[in-house]
Amino acid sequence: MSSITIIGGGLAGCEAAWAAASRGVQVRLVEMKPVRFSPAHKSPLLAELVCSNSLKAKRLESAAGLLKAEMRQMGSLLLQAADLAEVDAGGALAVDRDIFSRVVTEKIRSHPNIQLVSQEAQSIPEGIVLLAAGPLCEGALAEEIRKLTGGFFSFYDAAAPIVAADSVDMKIAFFASRYGRGGDDYINCPMNKEEYTAFYQALIGAEIAPLHGFDKVSPKVYEGCMPVEVMARRGEDTLRFGPLKPVGLTDPRTGRRPWAAVQLRKENAEGSLYNLVGFQTNLKFGEQKRVFSMIPGLENAEFVRYGVMHRNSFIDSPRLLSPDLFLKKDPRIGFAGQISGVEGYMESAASGIVCGINAVRKLRGEKPLVLPRETMIGSLLSYITDPTVEKFQPMGANFGILPPLEEPVRDKSLRYQALAERAMSIMKTLDFQ
């Protein structure tokens, strides 16, 4: 059997390589690190997590939980790694980033059907090719893809700061999860009304970092990963109903719910680092130190990494891709990951699994795998390849894209549970070979 080439060793590329190699196909996985790094990447390892260490909710009756359950059914490599690298995060699946990437890298390197090539791809080779080059694809390869697809859309993405756990003032901050779900897995920094107002005014007046060469025009910020300062400018209470919502929390010092609360989530297995949940930002580093140190409990916090902003690019998938994630005009070329128009770590990985399986089926001359829309993965990929979608923006897993139940269920939690059970019952009947 012939081989396939996969360009990009991120989450989608690794899943695609694993899916294809596990089905007996020889895979050539081309990854430019450590020869060259994008502006957002620092580690030489595969499957590097940049924005967050959270892979979102675990419970089945959540969109993120259902997505991961479906991926497990399909033999996901990354969820095997996540299980080995998991850190406590309440009802979420969060991982130690270094352990996670190290496990994935070791598994990819040791697979007898995978050849890992460390070089920057300059062109699209012959044969079946999967492009999982990531949202920061640039240079000669990006130019080839532009010619192939007719152009990119661009938006912007931001990463949150990380602080040292022992520098948080626990006389003010406290451990708790909202509504007590999942134990004491988050550090909470409570604010009263006056503290919040002062923080808010400082945040909306803080100085933004200058954009890089490719950012000369005003950035178009994608809603799913919006910088906290951009969100704040939508109104004084926007953060209180968003990442700083205090519902389900009680400040031990007062016995009451705080006016607002900043949550910090474990960044590594040791619990020595915490990231500021929802605080993706493009503020200057000095401004981040000044403004975020106004958060009660973080007055003397040590910022081990400041937030950064970087470009993301994705193709016009509804016009370009068939339901199997391969180009309509050149069916030997597939796209997976954020460049294909999915949004989120696990969504990118899921698209990689499907793309890898379909590459194998192309080689075998078999019918492609197109998951039913009643599944989360099927509905997500159906959305990004739906030619009727106008003004396309990346999409993440959510119950709103699933077909409704035959028998309507008014209670939202029961409805989500029923949708998840329906999806999993379908997944168990499918053949993924």
Summarize pLDDT for 334-349 with one digit per residue, the tens.
Answer: 999 999 999 899 999 9
| Judgement on whether residues 295 and 346 belong to the same structural domain of the protein | no
* Total domains, the chain: 2
pTM given for the model: 0.80
Structural domain of 245: 159-311
Q: How many CB atoms lie within 10 A of CB 215?
A: 16
Q: What is the pLDDT of residues 77-136, one digit of tens each?
A: 999 999 999 999 989 999 999 999 999 999 999 999 999 999 999 999 999 999 999 877
- Report yes or no on 432 lying in a domain: no
Query: In this structure, are 135 and 182 located in the same domain?
Result: no
Residue 39 lies in a domain: yes
Which of 258, 285, 311 is the last residue before a domain boundary?
311
Helices (H), 30-185: 63-73, 77-85, 97-110, 139-149
Is 25 in the same domain as 146?
yes
The lowest-confidence range among 128-132, 225-229, 267-271, 284-288 is 267-271
- From the CB of residue 50, how many other CB atoms can be counted at a distance below 10 Å? 20
Of the residues 286, 311, 336, which one is the last residue of a structural domain? 311
Q: DSSP 3-state assignment of 30?
A: strand
Contact 267, 283 (CB under 8 A): no
* Segment 12-26 mean pLDDT: 98
CATH classification at residue 179: 2.40.30.260
Q: What is the pLDDT of residue 217?
A: 39
Structure tokens at 426: 């379908």
Please state the φ and ψ torsions of residue 90, each to the nearest 5 degrees.
Answer: 65, -130
232 and 369 co-located in one domain: no
Mean pLDDT over 390-419 rounds to 89
From residue 297, alpha-carbon distances to 173, 211, 365 in Å are 5, 31, 60
- Report the C-alpha gap between 234 and 190 in whole angstroms: 22
Render pLDDT for 353-382 as a digit per residue (tens, 0 to 9). Answer: 999 999 999 999 999 999 999 999 999 999
Within this chain, do residues 171 and 297 fall inside the same structural domain, yes or no?
yes
Residue 59's nearest CA partner among 420, 428, 424, 427 is 420
Both 45 and 88 in a single domain?
Answer: yes
Average the pLDDT over each of 49-53, 129-133, 157-161, 228-232 and give the range with the smallest value: 157-161
DSSP 321: B
* Domain edge (last residue) among 264, 291, 311: 311
Range in 8-22, 204-218, 335-349, 390-404 the model is least confident about: 204-218
Cα–Cα distance measured from residue 48 to residue 37, given in angstroms and rounded to the nearest whole number: 11
Q: Which CATH number do you get for residue 64? A: 3.50.50.60
d(Cα 6, Cα 139) in Å, to the nearest integer? 17
Residues 391, 349 share a domain: yes
Q: How far is Cα 357 from Cα 367, in angstroms, rounded to an integer?
A: 11
Please tell me whether residues 92 and 41 are part of one structural domain.
yes
Q: Across the chain, what does the average pLDDT equal? A: 91
pLDDT value of residue 40: 67
Q: Are 180 and 216 contained in the same domain?
A: yes
Q: What percent of the chain has pLDDT over 90?
A: 72
Residue 263 falls within a domain, yes or no?
Answer: yes
Asked if residue 433 belongs to a domain, the reply is no
Contact 215, 208 (CB under 8 A): no
Q: Would you put residue 337 in left (φ > 0), alpha (ψ -120 to 50) or beta?
A: left
How much is the pLDDT for 353? 98
258 and 165 fall within a common domain: yes
Model confidence at 222, pLDDT cuts 50, 70, 90, reads low
Least confident of 103-112, 230-239, 399-408: 399-408
Residues 191 and 208 in one domain: yes
Whether residues 183 and 198 share a domain: the answer is yes
Look at residue 102 and tell me if it is in a domain.
yes
